[in-house]
Structure 1
Amino acid sequence: MPTEIEQMWAVTARQGELRAIGSALTDRGGILLTGTTGVGKTRLLAASLQRVAAEGRTVVAVGGAGGPETGCAENFCSLAECLDRLESVRRHSDPARRTVVGFDDAHLVEESAAHRLYRLTASGRVAVAATARRDAALPTGVDKLWVERLVERLEVRPFARDVVSSILHGRVGGPVDSATLERLWATTRGNALILHELVEYALTDGSLRRVDGRWHWDGLPARPPERLADIVLLRLRDLAPEEQELVNVLAVAGPVEYGLAERLGLARAAETLDGRDLVQIEYSGRRVGIRLTEPLTGAVVADRMSGLTAQRLRLQLADAIEATGARREDDVVRMATLRMAAGRVPEPAVLLAAARTAAHRRDFALTERLCRSVLGNPRPPRDARRTPSAGPAGDGAPVSGPARGVAGADNVSVAGEGDGACGGVVTADEARAALLLGRALAGQGRHEEAEAVFAGALAERPGAAPHGLPRDELIAAVHDRADNAAWGLGRGADAAAVVDGLPAGLGAQGTGVRHGFHAVLALLADRPDDAARTGRTVLPGEQPDSVVVQHLLPPAAFALSELGRPAEALALIARHARDLGGWHDDARLRCLVVTARCAFAQGDLGRVADTLDATGRFATPGDDLRQLQLALLRSRLLRLLGRPAEAVTLLRGASTLRVRRDWLGTPSWTLAQLAGALAEAGRPTEALQTLVEAQAARRDAPAYPLADDALLLEHAVVLAHTGDRSGAACRALEVVQRAAARPATALAALHLAVRVADAPRAAVRAAQLAAGAHSELMRLQCDHVVALTRSDGEALEDVSARFRTMGAVALAAEAAAQAADMYRRDGRRRASRLARAAGARLLAETGCALVPWADPQEQRQPDRAAPLTSREREVAALAAGGLSNRDIAARLVVSVRTVENHLYRVYEKLGITARSDLGGALQGPARNSLGRAA
């Protein structure tokens, strides 16, 4: 009998399927639910039968389908027994009142019973509600029901990411942090049964717990729980020996190429497992890969596998990779890690080559492990609970614990904790490993450890390359150390000193690093004019695509865009970046990202899309920084196109990527954009909760005015969408003042402030900010501000048309609605109707929603949440999410008494008396795709 919690899992986010099932049972001969094991077919069938019985229809079940709570009139042991009974009953005259027969596993029904069921259904005497495994062959009688359209067929799919989020929120009664959502998604891939069991187990053993007011889960324990493992292994019953062998290979080694499976004699097994949906085939160019469909399967199989079997498979696969030539960059990593896991430690040169590749892919946990092996000090993982499949994005090995010195058999010592000294690195390979170790520690957020390692490794011969390292390796190490000082430790002056201390005689590479890093430091210090000036001074004397260009061009072009001159920035890029294929990976990525940002500022959304495609073409496996930047750019484009729900999905994944801070993005910046997208998608409570999370991340980071202003601007967006328009305008106008040195940001903030509330002297200030700007978007924002302050309907219609031409449909619809409102105020009813109709057509064509401040219905009906202050709104949202007063106080860094006072005022202003009413009071009326109250 399903418990109340199990029933909740069965029907949560399945309302569409339940409606389709109800319709099929009324209008057709029934429904056949298909899907893979564990997606929730049986629970969905039980919920459907219960609904049908509650409507007064006769329901009979076979084999206990639906359980005793379903309300079945009778329950039969077999389908044949059930059909015997039904054939003896007089036929009901009303087709909508036909007896409903519910049963599981239609693929196991005997042929004779299946034919009898077909005849009864075809004659209109019964309606069928059944489940079947998607990959199984159906009996002929059941097949005919579907082929002859007597019953509908509905595939039950795993839950999507956003659905997992809503399910978890409903189950735990509070907000779940983004990293936990991504870990659970990566582990279960939305399989309803596995997700249910995993969450219930984690709640029972306390690994899913509240931390600072949000629910947090570190990942799977080293050994998956017994019941969960048994459930996962249900899908692996009756495997042929070759199929089990391939599953074992994938469990110990992760995804493999189809060619390797062929070499191991397992190609046929791959085909049959694909047919059973146990593996997925992935295509990337000419490469064909195989991976287990559910990552948790790998953890369970590996845990149940004997050590000798695992060792044999790892060595066989490593030998197969080597035999095929090990041509790809990551082949050496796989060979090294497979042999290490099998107890065969490769030569230091092989380990170092693997560490370089792992660092290039930003797999910093693996980089650390490989470097410590080179240095003779392999370390166990700090957190024995984590497994590779439980990471936020399936991200490899766990993070190691704090370094307490790296000491090896050859008296190697790199950076004892706190002393910063190097006690004698004896070989060039060991020096390389120490410098890569510093980069790996910085990449994992262990910045003080990283600085100690860098200081020790680079201190052996001041002013010269340690152990005669090539100049490019020395420069990369110095750059990594400066990055760690600036972005990890917040010590800009120390970072500048590190870069300026590069040895003389390094040529263009040293010059490029110095110029480029000083331009970045100028951005960090909110001096974009200095960064742009450096670019204008240095770049004209450089050859296109030179090393100096690669380091300096991206920050200089970015600074020009922030100064309101994206056209000049794009011209600079076109002049100096002609062959990005020859650029260093990081420089190429930053150049493409800056190009997209400049195209945004120019209002050229077509070029943005083309640049995103180009960025994707240069993708490398495991490149989290590229994934992050692509997600940020695509989500910005989607929001302009009026598709914030899609942006939310992208930003949720991006917010969990472990990428160190730099001038193109910080964790708080990413979370703030997620908050803004959630608000635009009509999810204000989640938006406010995510905004608090972004503010908490900001408190732990060095000051970066550009990112801080972006967070404040998204804060204004969230407030505007939750009804606090005066608060939104105040936040936006604060950005206008703070971003005086960056006209593009200042004008964007002023544009928002005027759209949501009156702003004094806005037209004059907008004209000042747009003066001399070579940006179509800035000119359009200025014209929008002027039209609003002058209540000029014709000008607003023109602005709407220009936004639509640009592709910014959400802004185009908003301007059209504002034009209609201005015409209405002037008594021009026909013009108002035409403008309103034009906006409605645009909304209908694109499916986007009208912003609340431009909706005439909301203007006439004040929002109940409008009286709340910004702080009251944040407290109310956190309380609605299930946080206690103490948790809220910890998140907002205030006293518990302050939280209680805020809630008292919130209850009084909203006219509610219970904490449980907060969610509905904050949410306001639901919106349909046209932005109207539903």
Structure 2
Amino acid sequence: MPTENEQLWAVTARQAELRAIESALTDRGGILLTGTTGVGKTRLLAAALRRVAAEGRTVVAVGGAGGPETGCAENYCSLTECLDRLESVRRHSDPARRTVVGFDDAHLVEESAAHRLYRLAASGRVAVAATAPRDAALPAGVDKLWVERLVERLEVRPFPRDLVSAILRRRVGGPVDSGTLERLWATTRGNALILHELVEYALADGSLRRVDGHWHWDGLPARPPERLADIVRLRLRDLAPEEQELVNVLALVGQVEYGLAERLGLARAAETLDGRGLVQIEYGGRRVGIRLTEPLTGAVVADRMSGLTAQRLRLQLADAIEATGARRAHDVVRMATLRMAAGRVPEPAVLLAAARTAAHRRDYPLTEHLCRPLLGTPTADAPATALLPAGAPPAPPAADEPAADRDTTAGTATAAPAGTLPVSAAGAAPAADRTDSAWFPADGCPEPGRALRHDVARASLLLGRALAGTGRHQEAEDVFARVFADRAADLLTALPADEVVAAVRDRADNVAWGLGRGTDAAAVVDGLPDGLGPDGTGLRHGFHAVLALLADRPDDAARAGRTVLPGEPPDSPVVQHLLPPAALALAELGHPDRALALVDRHTHDLAAWPDDARLRCLVAVARCAFAQGDLARVTATLDAIGRSDGPDDDLRRLQHALLRSRLLRLLGRPGEAVTLLRGASALPVRPDWLATPAWTLAQLAGALAEAGRPTEALQTLVEAQAARRTSPAHPQADDAVLLEHAVVLAHTGDRSGAACRALEAAQRAAARPASALAALHLAARVGDAPRAAVRAARLADGAGSDLMRLRADHVTALARSDGEALEEVSARFRTLGAVPLAAEAAAQAARAYRKDGRRRASRLARAAGTRLLTEAGCPLPPWADPQEHRQPARTAPLTSREREVAALAAGGLSNRDIAARLVVSVRTVENHLYRVYEKLGITARSDLGGALQGLARHPAGTVVRAA
């Protein structure tokens, strides 16, 4: 009998497909399931046959399709034997009464049997339920079944990201942290078989475990589990030699350009592997990249690859990159890492150039890996060998360390383990065994020369940045402090001003965000030496403007912009540092129009800015455009971020996802926003003044609530609050988390609690009128317009934001229950492009008219709202739905804290885990759950999820605020 887990993977996750199969077997002559290996065709077929048999239909199976517990009348060894028995079956005009024939691997059926099956199906005697690999050559008889529409053809696809999330939560019986969901998705790409095997293995070995109430998985072990590796290799067992060669290359380096594959003689292999779905082609400008479809395949192949094969392929690929000119900066990184992994030490200058590029791309583990050899500071992952140690030549390898054993099974180049380089068998680095006057003094002494000291300083600064980027903040500060104390003269005399300024900024960011010491960070910036020109001046002004924002003093940041920027030429270093925080400060003060004008006045050639500065400016422009209500400019800015010529790094992906998801939510597409925010929440980006992990998770919680997933929303909100407790203070982000809390409560039925949270956010944002008005707008929409109206009008008075004025007018119209004013607000939201808000205002106008007895006006407003909802493709929020206001109160209200406790309990957390999450006692949790059970009329913990879902759809009157 199928286990409960097998039922979960096959049935729970495939309800839509099962309905399609049942419909095809009932209304037509059957179904042909196609798809790639591992998507779950066989289990889906078995589940469908069980359902059909349970409904009383006669089911016969071939080759044990569906398993022994399918409920089949008979099981046959071959299709021919089965058809021999079915020749005498009566014809039925009703497809729902025909005998169902189920079998796997239709592409292996003999031609004669396929033609007989076709004749039986065409004559109405049998219905067919079969599977076949996608794009496989089928027997003519099977092809005729779907060509003549006797059976439906259904492609079974990998699980989408959100479904993987739902499956995993149900399997483990509790909430799963966002990083784990993203890692599992990235590893499996929704392949049902691999996902199933990986999760079961991770549960068995304890790598998928509970941490602080959430299930957590760090990723694949260094060596993939045996059974999982065997499953992956099933798809690779019949590869041609050149196909296997390309798979080996991709397993080692992750991605190669099609031109390199051509140079290696593997272009034809790329085409055939693409046809089989084993590789995917990625287009980026003029370059065409090739990578393995499933990342797990690369890990398995690299793990089993011969060390000599790996060394040969790495060197061949490095030589091919060099032969093509290595025109991109990243080509130097790839050449260096490939040769390092093959035991060949690059020139010190090459190592340093590669490290700088890796740091620029924010690949911090690789940056550290490249810097360590230059500094002679090994890690535990590799022997203690440096390219050019400060006082002596490299040490020889240990006598028991054969050269063939060194770093021959590393994975992709960008995932190389941090550490130092192996040396040659002779005991010296192959490319660094000479005395060069550029690196050593002329007398041949092994003391480093001036160029070496300068590059050691550069490498030290890069190492500090890498350590900060990987979360080792105190180590990073120790490195920075040592460099600035011991090599200050080298920094000032050898490095360009922009490099020194960048290093100081890295150190200040690490102190402020990593160590949480804003005052010390300001001292770092103020300690900049003189003589750094506009770069140093710009960093001072820009960093202090950021600190003013973080201290909730936007006036000071805006004043700095007004004072300093007019005297600066467009695009100057001072502009690059100061303009983004100054513009955001103006937008927060209610003047996004001035902020956008300031940007336009001081950015004549944004494309020429450094990548980081350009990204910060574009993010500021997008946020100012949101504050102004200029969605066209938001869209244009998002396009500019997406097509940026800078490195496709995690920070850019994060900001693009955050901004785009905000736009999607405004347009009524929260489901798409959830997908983006899930990916964003898993990106390894350290917090800064533009985004924090708690802020990202809170936005995900809000999007989940808007998408109709209240339990997930509440669980994610608790995760966001936990992240907030471990982050440095950030008033704007903290208030945004509180506002998303209000959104979640409003969508889960606690409108009173939502209004209280929104009003609290407005009070905390007193120094930021734009944020305060956004919070008041939400409070008014969910039911507390009178308390919000007076302050909203005052905040909008004199504001330069169309959106702020519109929000204030909406609040006033709600407070007065003014139907005409609400219709005007609806029209203005429609002009703005915020169609869901326009539909909401129209529904509120209809309710106001009905309250005044103006039934015709109410019907017209309601019809207008319906048209707007159709245009937006989304439902009304629960507080604006007229049906919600007619629901009788059936249960006592839940407090906000009771909802949080219930959501966490529904997610599978124990009382002790809930207490730890919410920082309360276990007894308090027990008392809350007792009251929840009593109010909802349930008796079991397993009933909480459904009860909360129903409560979100039909809230029971007014919900009281927790004490």
Measure, in 2, the Cα distance between the counterparts of 1:806 and 1:51.
50
Secondary structure of 2:135 counterpart? coil
Q: Deviations over 1:39-87 (max 9, x none)?
A: 0000001111111111211111111000111111111111111111112
Q: Please name the residue that 2:599 is paired with.
A: 573
- Matching residue of 1:789: 815
Q: Which amino acid aligns with 2:77?
A: C
Number of residues paired by the alignment?
902
CA distance in 2 between counterparts of 1:398 and 1:922 reads 46
Paired residues of 2:748 and 2:951 also in contact (CA < 8 A): no
1:683 and 1:96 map into 2 onto residues whose CA distance is 36
Q: Compare 191-200 and 535-544 and name the one that shifted more.
A: 535-544
Q: Structure 1, residues 651-675: CA drift from partner, whole Å, max 9, x if none? A: 0000001111111111000001001
User: In 2, Cα distance between the equivalents of 1:91 and 1:715?
Assistant: 62
Q: Secondary structure at the match of 1:53?
A: helix
Which of 380, 396, 405 is residue 415 of structure 2 equivalent to?
Answer: 396
TM-score, scaled to structure 1: 0.94
Q: Distance in 2 between matches of 1:381 and 1:859?
A: 64
Q: Give % identity.
A: 84
Per the alignment, in what secondary structure is the counterpart of residue 273 of structure 2? helix
1:517-542 Cα distance to aligned partner (Å, 9 max, x none): 11111111111111111111111111
1-side partners of 2:828 and 2:853: how far apart? 25
Q: Of residues 913, 917, 924 in structure 2, which corresponds to 1:887? A: 913
CA contact (8 A) 2:785 2:814 kept: no
Determine if the alignment matches structure 1 residue 71 to structure 2 residue 97. Answer: no
Which amino acid in structure 2 is aligned with residue 347 of structure 1? Answer: E
Q: Does 1:715 align with 2:741?
A: yes
Checking the alignment, whether the CA contact within 8 Å between 1:671 and 1:691 is kept in structure 2 is yes
Distance 2:649 2:689 in 1: 17
1:625 Cα deviation from its structure 2 partner: 0.6
Deviation at 1:622, TM superposition (A): 4.1
Structure-2 change in CA distance of 1:866 and 1:700 (3 Å): farther
Question: Which residue in 2 is equivalent to 1:421?
Answer: none
Cα displacement (A) at 1:727? 1.2
Letter in 1 for 2:183: R
1:731, distance to aligned residue in structure 2 (A): 1.0
* Aligned residue number for residue 634 of structure 1: 660
The equivalences for 1:498-897 within 5 A come to 498-618=524-644, 620-861=646-887, 867-897=893-923
Partners of 2:599 and 2:381 in 1: CA distance = 44
* Partners of 1:292 and 1:451 in 2: CA distance: 39
Residues of 2 paired with 1:848 and 1:371: CA distance?
52
> Pairwise mapping of residues 277-426 of structure 1 onto structure 2 (< 5 A)?
277-380=277-380, 396-397=415-416
**Cα drift, residue 783 of structure 1:** 0.1
Structure 1 Cα separation of the partners of residues 123 and 854 of structure 2: 63
Which residues of 2 match residues 199-238 of structure 1 at below 5 A?
A: 199-238=199-238
Q: Report the CA distance between 1:388 and its aligned residue.
A: 9.4
Alpha-carbon distance between aligned partners in 1 of 2:487 and 2:222, rounded to the nearest angstrom: 43
Per-residue deviation at 1:911? 2.4
Q: Deviations over 1:546-568 (max 9, x none)?
A: 11111111111011011110000
Correspondence for 2:118: 118
Aligned counterparts of 1:844 and 1:681: Cα–Cα separation in 2? 16
Aligned to 1:459, the other structure's residue is in SS state helix
Q: 1:470 aligns with which of 481, 491, 496?
A: 496
CA distance in 1, matches of 2:411, 2:768: 43
CA distance, structure 1, for counterparts of residue 48 and residue 528 of structure 2 = 71
Q: Which residue of 2 aligns with 1:900?
A: 926
**CA shift digits 1:592-651 (9 cap, x unpaired):** 111111111111111111111111110545411110011011110011111111111100
Who is 1:270 aligned against?
Answer: 270
In the alignment, is residue 909 of structure 1 matched against residue 935 of structure 2?
yes
Indicate if the aligned counterparts of 1:128 and 1:151 stay in contact, CA closer than 8 A: yes
Bigger CA drift: 81-90 or 309-318?
Answer: 81-90
Residue 48 of structure 2: aligned partner: 48
Q: What letter corresponds to residue 113 of structure 1 in structure 2?
A: A
- Aligned-partner SS, 2:902: helix
| 8 Å CA contact 1:209, 1:217 repeated in 2 | yes
Shift of 1:141: 1.4
Q: Counterparts of 1:864 and 1:219 in 2: how far apart (Å)?
A: 46
**Compared CA separation, residues 776 and 897, structure 1 to 2 (3 A):** same
Q: Out of 460-469 and 307-316, give the one that drifted further.
A: 460-469
| SS in structure 1 at match of 2:570 | coil
Per-residue CA deviations over 1:832-879 (Å, capped at 9, x if unaligned) read 111111111211222112111111222222666772222221111111
Q: 1:732 to 1:753 in 2, by over 3 A?
A: same
Query: 1:761 deviation in Å?
Result: 4.4
CA contact (8 A) 1:295 1:389 kept: no
Q: 1:926 to 1:123 in 2, by over 3 A?
A: farther
Q: In the alignment, what sits opposite 1:417?
A: none
Cα gap change, 1:927/1:530 in structure 2, threshold over 3 Å: closer, same or farther? same
Contact 1:465 1:474 in 2 (8 A): yes
1:157 aligned partner, one-letter code: R
2:888 and 2:545 map into 1 onto residues whose CA distance is 48
Where 2:244 maps in the other structure, the secondary structure is helix
Mapped contact 1:619–1:626 kept (Cα < 8 A): no
Q: Distance in 2 between matches of 1:399 and 1:173?
A: 36
| Compared CA separation, residues 498 and 681, structure 1 to 2 (3 A) | same
1:52 corresponds to which letter in structure 2?
V
**Cα deviation, residue 345, structure 1:** 2.2
Task: Write the distance in 2 (CA, Å) between the matches of 1:686 and 1:399.
Answer: 37
- What does the per-residue CA deviation read over 1:263-303, in whole Å, with 9 as the maximum and x for residues that have no partner? 11011111111111111111111111111111000001111
Q: 1:759 to 1:783 in 2, by over 3 A?
A: closer
Deviation per residue, 1:474-523 (Å, 9 max, x gap): 11100100111112112111111111111111111111111111111111
- Please say if residues 878 and 953 of structure 2, whose CA atoms lie closer than 8 Å, have aligned partners that are also in contact: no
Measured in 1, the distance between the counterparts of 2:673 and 2:858 equals 32
> Is the 1:279–1:290 contact (alpha carbons within 8 Å) kept by the matching residues of 2?
yes
CA contact (8 A) 2:341 2:410 kept: no
Partner of 2:395: none
Correspondences of 1:31-180 after superposition (within 5 Å): 31-92=31-92, 94-180=94-180
Q: Is the deviation greater in 160-169 or in 140-149?
A: 140-149
Partner of 2:516: 490
In 2, the alpha carbon distance for the partners of 1:590 and 1:79 equals 65
Encode CA deviations 1:137-169: one digit per residue, 9 max, x unaligned.
111111121222221111100000000000001
Which whole-Å CA distance do the structure 1 matches of 2:341 and 2:114 have between them? Answer: 52
Q: Which amino acid aligns with 2:99?
A: T
* Structure 2 alignment gaps of length 5 or more: 383-408, 421-428, 434-449, 955-963
Q: CA offset at residue 397 of structure 1?
A: 4.8
Alpha-carbon shift at residue 426 of structure 1 (Å)? 6.1
- Distance across 2 between alignment mates of 1:492 and 1:785: 38
Seen in structure 2, the aligned counterparts of structure 1 residues 743 and 862 have a Cα distance that, compared at 3 Å, is farther
Deviation at 1:380, TM superposition (A): 4.2
Tell whether the 8 Å contact from 1:53 to 1:71 is kept in structure 2 after alignment.
Answer: yes
Letter of the 1:586 partner, please give it.
Answer: D
Compared CA separation, residues 381 and 195, structure 1 to 2 (3 A): farther
Counterparts of 1:388 and 1:512, CA distance in 2: 43
Give the AA of the match of 1:916.
S
* Range 679-688 or range 895-904, more displaced: 895-904
Q: Which segments of 5 or more consecutive residues in structure 1 lack a partner in the other structure?
A: 402-407, 411-423, 929-934
TM-score with structure 2 length normalisation? 0.91
Amino acid paired to 1:837: A
